[in-house]
A and B are shown apart, each in its own frame.
Chain A
Amino acid sequence: MKLTKIVLKDYNQFKDVEIDLTYPKGHRKEGQPLDKVCIIGQSGSGKTSLLRLIKWFISLQREIGKNTELPLPENSNSVQIDFRFFDLNYRVSNVDQEPFLDHKWFSGENREAFFQKLKDYYQEIKPLLYNFPTEILIKDTPPVIGERSTLDELERIKEKKAYLDKLELGHTIDFSADDEWQLQTWDYVLRNIFEHRAEELYKKKEIADIELQNIKKEEKSKLKKEKTEEYKRWAKQNPDPLKKLADECLDPLLLSLGLRTKIEIDLNTILNLRFIQLQTAAGRDVPREFWSTGTRQLVKTVIPLYMLNPKNAVVLVDEPELSLYPDMQKSIIDMYVKLAPESQFFFATHSPIIASSFEPWEIVELKFDEEQAYVSRDLHYEGENHVDNYKYFPEYLRWDSILERIFELEEEGGKKRQQALEKLAEVEIRLRKLKKEKKLDSPEGKKLVEEFKNLGQKVDWDFE
């Protein structure tokens, strides 16, 4: 499912805003939904509101076709969202009509085909929405509810399997939900890892238990050999999904943070049956409460995308730059997109480095009107929406140029820098004149050279 257009007649601070989410004319993907969208705008301009609206819209899909009453998103009177599900186009809208009943709201090329496809899609339990709000950093990962022994936890995983198999949680992976739901979400995301881990522990326990059996030594030895062989066969046929996650996804990212995923099972704690554990490069465990916020941000967003391999999903990431050093921000967008290349991403950001990963038509800039009352979309093209008519190309700009052109930051530095530059400009002109008069060696000349040197160093000789 990919969104192609959002029309906000009346929603929060938006009034008569139309956001085209397709590639412009002249693009090789002309008319197709954008693969990724970067929402920027001043604080309070509605970036997060827009993400919430998209989340609401995707949640709505569960109700479509059921002829039930549909609640509107908060502070919304009139909205329309066009979208494409596989190759069919649809619209959900309550513009110019009485709201609430989905048969009025919903229109499209082939309703029955859509309902069927949606049903089939859900049968695969493929989540349609991944929501990573900023709260993801604050909340514990995942919340640990109650203390249990390892054996209890193994039982829980066994019991959970049947439950998770039926769970409709697959509709949304939403980290804005409450703690209980988050626990279930992580159970769902990491189920392959924990089920594999539980199986491995059972098999190892089975081998260890042979020692306790009241049988002859030779028989014990034979049985142990058989079970060990059986375990080895099983291990070969069922590669550890945690090792795969570590090798293919997490560890390359954690490397720059001096960390790696802990693969070994620790029988003294249930933590390795609850979440991923990390170690330093030297092999020392790093308890979860000591993870940096940047580490949490990375681990929590990357794992669901890697483990569930989304297809045709919508992925919302609010402020992907949170707690990440600039160097890491450079590559994070490409990394997310690679994890779910067939999905549509919406990022809301304040970072020029994040914005540099986008084509110009993928930028949605929200801007207040002069009275600061309503928000509209600031278009970055003139005339027709054609690739040739765009003004700024973030991928080709320097970070400071992005701040200036896209984020409209008017100053290049603080007040002191400005004053120093003005003084430098004057000192240099005076020096030029003295040079012409061959008076650079005069006391005045020497004083000015000294002043020039001092000021130049302060502004890092960067002023032209």
Chain B
Amino acid sequence: MRKIDKSKILSTEYKKWADKLDRDKAEHPHDSRSYYYDVFMNLLHCQKGVCAYTEMFLCNPALLEENNWKKGGYIKEKPECLGELEHFDPALKRDRYWQWGNLFVIASKINKRKGRKEVDDILKPDAPHYNPFELLEYNEKYHIFIPHTGIEDEEKRERIRRMIEVLHLNFDFVRRERRKFLKGISRLEDFQQPEEVDRFFTAYEMTVSVTRE
């Protein structure tokens, strides 16, 4: 799960609207869909077109280029992208439904499974303290993320382990996709220049670093 920088706001109209709701201390309207795709596509832009947690591929990069935004909004009504809007902390959903900091786009399968499970900020991809290379390690043979073995605090390790489960980073389906993708990349690299990686960035980087060691 890579670190996500959400500072680039392209859907400025949405941001103005959400900020005003916050200033007015108004409850966020759940049923409003006026800015749904503005938020959705802006998030995907920040996430480089992949699921915020599992890094599965969700969207063609061409749809995320900045020229797809005009007058503070995304130009297409219903862009063809996979994934669903997700509230990292489900407890905030009731009052702060459209809060930018709590939103991500994730794979539908993961969203269905994550449900209303309690979360811990220790593995929140846009948190300032979050650094996957300090918190996680990747076993490239099993294609499994584990709490970094350098962390000695067992309680912290348990918190990380729990969040790996909540965010489904090792869910069989995800693991299989990741394994096949990385396997494909590695086989291709035997015969040609490495192709640009467009998903599973963290696992790829961690695998490459282990291989180089």
Contacts and interface: CB of A to CB of B under 8 A. Distances in A.
A135 interface: no
Contact of B176 (A404, A426, A429, A433): A404
A410 B109 contact: yes
B137 interface: yes
B149 A422 contact: no
B146 A463 contact: no
A464 B141 contact: yes
Best-surrounded residue of A418, A422, A424 (most CB of chain B within 10 A): A422
A69 interface: no
A430 B173 contact: no
A425 B176 CA distance: 15
Contact of A411 (B149, B161, B172): B172
B171 interface: yes
Interface residues of A, number: 17
B135 interface: no
A438 to B, nearest CB: 16
B172 A425 contact: no
B108 to A, nearest CB: 9
A428 B146 CA distance: 11
A418 B172 CA distance: 8
A421 B109 contact: no
A452 to B, nearest CB: 12
A413 B175 CA distance: 12
B142 A421 contact: yes
B141 A422 contact: no
Contacts of B171: 410-411
B172 A412 contact: yes
A411 B141 contact: no
A311 B170 CA distance: 52
A287 B179 CA distance: 53
Contact of A418 (B137, B170, B176): B170
A464 B109 CA distance: 23
Interface string B130-149: 00000001010110101101
Contacts, number: 46
Contacts of B161: 422
A412 B139 contact: no
Nearest to B109: A410
B137 A429 contact: yes
Best-surrounded residue of B109, B146, B164 (most CB of chain A within 10 A): B146
Contacts of B137: 429
A428 B141 contact: yes
B172 A429 contact: no
Contact of B141 (A404, A430, A463): A463
Interface in B107-127: 109
Contacts of A464: 141-142, 179
Contacts of B144: 421-422, 425
Interface string B176-196: 100100000000000000000
Contact of B149 (A404, A410, A421, A426): A426
A418 B139 CA distance: 14
B146 A413 contact: no
Interface in B149-208: 149, 161, 164, 170-173, 176, 179
A433 B142 contact: no
Interface of B: 109, 137, 139, 141-142, 144, 146-147, 149, 161, 164, 170-173, 176, 179
30 contacts: A404-B173, A410-B172, A410-B173, A411-B172, A411-B173, A412-B172, A412-B176, A413-B172, A418-B170, A421-B144, A421-B170, A422-B144, A422-B161, A422-B170, A424-B142, A425-B141, A425-B142, A425-B146, A426-B139, A426-B147, A426-B149, A428-B139, A428-B142, A429-B139, A429-B149, A433-B149, A463-B141, A464-B141, A464-B142, A464-B179
Interface of A: 404, 410-413, 418, 421-422, 424-426, 428-430, 433, 463-464
